[in-house]
Structure 1
């Protein structure tokens, strides 16, 4: 195990006669990358979270439940016990009328063996198209937080990776300079080992 000594905070900005310009540049690159990573991640995450919450709230306001009627006998048998145990549902054609009197039809999942004309609650958007049931406020908050966190983390990786790449290039440049200086100064030392 190598001895590193005590950890010194902000060592990149302390006075040191051996510090080169490349060291100062690397310090600013590291600081800039971390600041941009945090800012990009937090700002993108919050913006997406607010946007998703606003969109889900709009859906809760605009989407409405409508009672539709089965336009056909649903496939399968109407054994209530099998539905409650397995939760099996089948696709069936339904028809409904909007408040403006326009007739619509579509397919929804219903219990097997549902009879012709049986009422089924469906959710529609303002144009009368079938949609899923809107998220509750708690579901919307959770969904928005998860999406915002994912987008925030993704947005934060861009400046982080760019900073790492730039720092790697600076490191390679520094090592190349050391090789050049060693090639010039190494022979001047002469033979130092027995």
Structure 2
């Protein structure tokens, strides 16, 4: 077989199984959601729960930290579509999505694990921030900056404090609030904060 034929044969081999990949990610999240920390989590346990061989996992991830980060990224609800017509409406959409993430039981326990083990696994936390946290912060920041440019928000708005306030209000209410749905809570937060953010 020629070199070209050999390369073609390798490329035409069995493609990655999306079903297996999803099973691996779900198994990882299930084990963490059941209370298994990163130190206790093993490729063997994940493979057993997912019903795949260890080699199937190692073909996709070089170590369990990378696998955990990808699993955490999958856990988040998809970024909601932003219309870009109204700062208020766009903030409500974003906070409703954040609320959905925060009240999901498995999501909450996995996020606590990721943040709680940050000292032991700083590289994992850095990847987690880059893949999971920062995209949403950037989306919120873009909404605020657009509002400052259009006059919907104060031109001298401290965006970092506004971001912390929006995030903190959602998290606080999900943990200690009255149990409102996201569609009820998000407009309450946005309308109250907008009264202090507008000129």
TM category, shorter: under 0.3
Bigger fraction of residues in helix: 2
TM-score (norm 2): 0.22
Computing the radius of gyration over CA atoms, which structure comes out larger, 1 or 2?
1
Bigger fraction of residues in strand: 1
